[in-house]
Structure 1
Amino acid sequence: MAANPRLEINVGKIAGNTAQVAQKAGANGVNIVGVTKVCCGAPEVARAVKQGGAAMLGDSRLENIARMKEAGIPGPYMLIRIPMQSAAAETVRLADYCLLSDVVTGRILGAEARRQGKTMHVIIMVDVGDLREGFWPNQIPGAVTELAAVEGLAIAGLGVNLTC
């Protein structure tokens, strides 16, 4: 037995638990995103989550998404944070979806998506009072109007981050 701490992951249980959640969610018309950030995008975990029925894989780090893609695990993939403007090219190359909290970043992502011949799907974040990220609720209509006009972007929905 190893002397160092280690984490053992039962991928069979991950797949089984994912299947239960996916079935219950699917019965209500909801698809799930299997988030792999706690295991740094470990391909064996991502594979189990997809096998269990997750419609998409999500991670907070582009390098973890790259790791899963390099392992041949099919997407789509979601960057579950706001991308840095300086990482727009890598975000569009690796992720199919990302969170978005400002129009300028949306324009940059749209331009990069056009350059790469892709569409970047965005979830527009709404700040609900925890001052963490997103547009204020009264800014949403204007932001949606502006972002909907950006070629290369597709608005996938609205999101909130509450006390995370």
Structure 2
Amino acid sequence: MSIEQTRDRLAKVLEAPMADFGLDVEAIELSNAGRRRVLRVAVDQDGGVTLDDIAEATVEVSRLLDESDVMGQQPYLLEVTSPGTDRPLTLPRHWRRNQGRLVKVTDHDGQSVTGRILRSDDDTTTLDVDGTEQTLAYGDVAKARVQVELNRKES
């Protein structure tokens, strides 16, 4: 079975139970590390996840994997984590969860703009770009990432 097929099966096993915990499965990564595999499951929720959320999710993911045959017999290391700041913004919930943060957005023509997310709904996001509000439809966005701000002054 390919890594992609295994990842698809993992999503089917994990998404509904994680939703019962109030968590969204944001990413499933499966890679080889010598004779073992490494399974990374990134979870998130509105308001972010705490270490307690990660601990509870780890116990539940481990239980679900033990009860299924999705990982087969080959040993693996399980890591449950939150998505990093370098995660691309691809879904409306990603934009909503990053309200107030600075993002760099590139459209399908390669034009880029950097602004702070003011608000987001199911179809669009509105950025503050140098004091001017600019509304973008998600369909027009080719790539978007949160920009790390080390010395941000709260306003």
- Where relative contact order (Cα < 8 A, 6+ residues apart) is larger, the structure is 2
Q: Same fold (TM over 0.5)?
A: no
TM-score by length of 1: 0.29
Write 1 or 2 for the structure with the bigger share of strand. 2
Higher-Rg structure is 2
TM-score by length of 2: 0.30
